[in-house]
Structure 1
């Protein structure tokens, strides 16, 4: 596996050894500069309610939260709003950052304005995924990966994505199609991240077609396709499915809660990602955003709460010491599995998005 990220090894080591409720969403009103207001778009289970309440009490800044469950929807909204955004801070996954930046939707962050910047864990302070032309474009929050989960009461151990296609579990598997196309490409021996296909559209299309046809051939394995973490958690808890592709966070949260779930990285490998808080270009409440960033990093308990709620590994220093043995075990993996994680690269994103989006539509229609 090619090492594309100079800090990847240390980042992965931390993911292997460390790692509620969310504030009630408020209606996002038209954005006008208000020093006592901050609009944040983020995922469910990312911001601890207690932290938000204490921040509002300490600063007098009202936090208005809008929940998102899809990077594409978030991008489309910001692009449509242009120079008049209705949010100040958004949560972007690392492999989508270049898309947001190419459309001039984000502004660089000045670490000198964040008094607690040094409370980020070492490998994340200079995460290459968040740096462009020497400028920082995000506050690292949580790290995760695409994993395979199985209900240990009803399935046999396996170190291969092939378990998703085992006839024994016909009708008891699930996945997010857009994510699983890339993983299926890797399973079949292709480059699911498309880095190898720069300036090779015909080769890329052939690889996508192979994965698409394979998934269509095995479509009867799938109970249903899902879209979000809460949905796959419910399917696993209800025993509607026994095997699934899912983000590491939702699976780890089930393990923390005591469900008979095993999370693994199969021998064929998988893809990793980093979530960050990002400052929107033309954000009306920039000063409030920096006040929020400083408060967010002030106490590792906040990072621990984010890990407990989301299941993802924290980018904040000192979190590992605050987790219980069960919580640490839920987000820890053997080193040989950790080595199988390849962080999503940013090369060739347009080609990848276009071809995979088309493949997803074709799989659904088949």
Structure 2
């Protein structure tokens, strides 16, 4: 499977124009015990400036943001700093969490110090992808997922990935091969994230090849395979395609721009990633970090602002009541659909990457 970190980065760049005020980056000074400072490493547009301003006013705690664009860079920085980190809070995706934890870079989260912990949406509260050995390591923030995207003017409503293989839409579909191959495995009842295939190479290969062969058989459905979110957007705008597998960010942008697009998660399920805020082990300002996290969860308006800026779905409860109709269509889903998201795991990724990459090349060549 291709590295979806690049997909997310592209989505953020694509959503940059006109999506709100940025959290201005500051230089993070060397670590020292400063109870009136909290240092946060995060992505562009994740933390609304209006929230930062209010938090600083209410608490007297200075918020210093360092922007990152890559999980690997963030990991390397923390690892290099060792027991004297300059950061209090980092932003980690679920599939990379175990790497940070096994390197002793993150502290278990004391949810008792976060009075607003119960204000997370049910689908994300106590998310298993943020828990290891019974300990929670992150506050869920934003979620991205692979959804079924369709032009509502030219397609029938569908609650199944079946529509991607419907003869009615021959040469009118599109997808990222590596991503949709995993979804096809889920559609066929096998494990597209390969978590259950550890030490079961033959079983994994059989499931992979079954999905590969199905996509080759249904190749006449596809107008074009795509790689970047901007490509699938343009195909929808030009009406070159009516149905696609796409990440939620590009789909949300189409909806916000007024195109007749619906984003949903079919009954067979899908895959996604979850960003979380994590307290760094030996954080120089842990008390301030917990105050920041508690304040962030205090209101659905904050979660709504984060969604508006980033284009991702919020993990906070009540956000749907704050957004307008167009925003709700772009950035929220019914709870029963949210429950269908399987968040990527870090387990058995080498097998997954090797098999998906090989099968994807065979689909394109087939």
Q: Specify if TM > 0.5.
A: yes
What are the Cα deviations for residues 279-308 of structure 1, in whole angstroms up to 9, with x where unaligned? 233444433322321221233210122233
Residue 222 of structure 1 is aligned with which of 224, 235, 239? 224
**1:192: how far off?**
0.7
**1:107: how far off?**
1.4
**Which has the larger displacement, 211-220 or 285-294?**
211-220
What are the Cα deviations for residues 161-220 of structure 1, in whole angstroms up to 9, with x where unaligned? 355567856486243x55333113223443112243232122213333444566678497
**1:139: how far off?**
1.0
CA RMSD of aligned residues (A): 4.0
What are the Cα deviations for residues 140-177 of structure 1, in whole angstroms up to 9, with x where unaligned? 223453211123345565554355567856486243x5
Match of 2:105 in 1: 105
| TM-score normalised by structure 1 residue count | 0.73
**What's the secondary structure of 1:222's corresponding residue?**
strand
The equivalences for 1:1-366 within 5 A come to 20-24=19-23, 26=25, 31-33=30-32, 35=34, 37-58=37-58, 59-68=60-69, 71=71, 74-75=74-75, 78-79=78-79, 82-83=82-83, 87-121=87-121, 124-153=124-153, 157-161=157-161, 163-164=163-164, 170=171, 173-175=174-176, 178-211=178-211, 218=219, 221-226=223-228, 231=230, 235=234, 238-239=237-238, 242=241, 243-331=243-331, 341-344=340-343, 346=345, 348-355=347-354, 358-359=357-358, 362=361
User: Hey, what's the Cα distance between the residues in 1 that align with 2:50 and 2:235?
Assistant: 29
User: Hey, what's the Cα distance between the residues in 2 that align with 1:363 and 1:33?
Assistant: 54
Match of 1:10 in 2: none
What are the Cα deviations for residues 219-270 of structure 1, in whole angstroms up to 9, with x where unaligned? 97435312xx6x4685367548634323335424543453211112235432
**Which has the larger displacement, 298-307 or 346-355?**
346-355
User: Hey, what's the Cα distance between the residues in 2 that align with 1:266 and 1:88?
Assistant: 38
User: Hey, what's the Cα distance between the residues in 2 that align with 1:139 and 1:46?
Assistant: 13
Contact 2:198 2:348 in 1 (8 A): no
**1:54: how far off?**
2.8
Contact 1:174 1:241 in 2 (8 A): no
CA distance 1:207–1:102, change in 2 (3 Å): farther
| TM-score normalised by structure 2 residue count | 0.73
User: Hey, what's the Cα distance between the residues in 2 that align with 1:41 and 1:140?
Assistant: 15
Contact 2:98 2:346 in 1 (8 A): no
CA distance 1:80–1:333, change in 2 (3 Å): same
CA distance 1:313–1:267, change in 2 (3 Å): same
User: Hey, what's the Cα distance between the residues in 1 that align with 2:54 and 2:91?
Assistant: 21
What are the Cα deviations for residues 46-91 of structure 1, in whole angstroms up to 9, with x where unaligned? 32232123334443514223143x5556556555665565643222
Contact 1:250 1:310 in 2 (8 A): no
Aligned residues: 341
Unpaired stretches in structure 1, ≥5 consecutive residues: 1-19
